[in-house]
Amino acid sequence: MLSPFRRLSCVALTALVLGAGAQAAGRSDEPRAWLTRMNEALANRNYDGTFFHLSQGQVETLRIVHRVQGGRVTERLLSLDGSGREFVRTNEELTCYLPDQKTVIVEPRREKNPFLGSLPQFNADVDDFYKMESLPPGRVMGRPTRVISVSPKDQYRFGYKLWLDEQTAMPLKTQLCDARGRVVEQIVFANLDMPDAIPESAVLPSVKTEGMRWVRQGAPADRPPSLAAFRASQLPPGFRLTVSGAQTLGDSSAPAAHLVYSDGLATVSVFVEPEPAQAAGAQTGPASPTPPPQSLSRVGAGYAFSTVVQGHQVTAVGEVPAQTVEFIAHSVTAHGAPPR
């Protein structure tokens, strides 16, 4: 039986690898205008670069290729050391090549952001929980940059610091920071090219798939009635339910309820499924009573927390502090039932 963290979807895992950006309008010196230019560059430019991903004392070298041709976007993200994993995303699908697990996972594409990520549009509510400002200019790879800071106002979310290329607004360096300003994760480009055209061969996977197990996950499914009532009864300030649906996790044949809570920038995914021990007991007879298992794990720069609520396994995962996923997971309950 896979742990709840290893059974998370490929989308959920890759979403925790990289993130930086924001939305606004214009071309002024205002931080929001620069972050809008960054989002436009990430989505609409051709680029091919190598960067270092630093997290938890580990350094991984990755290559990102983003190809735009005829309105069609294809992306390829590959690890140049370590796991050797590759992710290829088209307008329709995300394919995850995991040679360390001898597995290929194919999923429908559920969101349109590029691999390097972007943050949703700032609004008045977001301003209540984050402070955004321009910092003194800097240099990365010898290029002058605008430096933007997005700082959290409490302990329930991370902040961001971004070095944007003066000419293109591409993020040459990004940092994910906790409420005290300590760096949790860092991405630094070693080289970055932005050609007019990128050949199709640059976005084809290099992983040899002979002997690998293929897992194809379908479109989001309907939630079983037993899962439809689950919701978080309490949330950290500013978070609200933005998505409610179902998703198949790993090798499971039964869909899990999938809830997404967001404060407009940070996002936490919650998965609710029948507790594995209970499902096994239904087939083999009653099991010895044990305390509800709880586990916290680092997933990329974020955290995942799993617990058992009313006979169901609840897993919350997001690029947020540990206390945020624990807060949300502990508050999940079936509608109409008293909270734990």
State the Cα–Cα distance between residues 171 and 118, nearest whole angstrom.
Answer: 11
Taking residues 126-134, what's their average pLDDT?
87
What tens digit of pLDDT does each residue of 283-322 get?
A: 444 444 555 578 999 887 889 999 998 888 999 999 999 9
Write down the number of H helices and E strands in the chain: 5, 20
What tens digit of pLDDT does each residue of 242-266 get?
A: 888 877 666 666 778 889 999 988 8
Superfamily of domain 10-203: Lipoprotein localisation LolA/LolB/LppX (2.50.20.10)
State the Cα–Cα distance between residues 105 and 89, nearest whole angstrom.
Answer: 12
Nearest CA to 261 among 240, 236, 234, 232? 240
Domain 220-334 CATH assignment equals 3.30.450.20: no
H/E stretch holding 322 reads helix 322-331
Boundaries of every domain in the chain: 10-203, 220-334
Choice among 19-28, 60-69, 235-244 with the minimum mean pLDDT: 19-28
What tens digit of pLDDT does each residue of 62-112 get?
A: 999 999 998 899 999 999 987 889 999 998 899 999 998 999 999 887 666
Q: What six digits make up the tokens of 132?
A: 């955004």
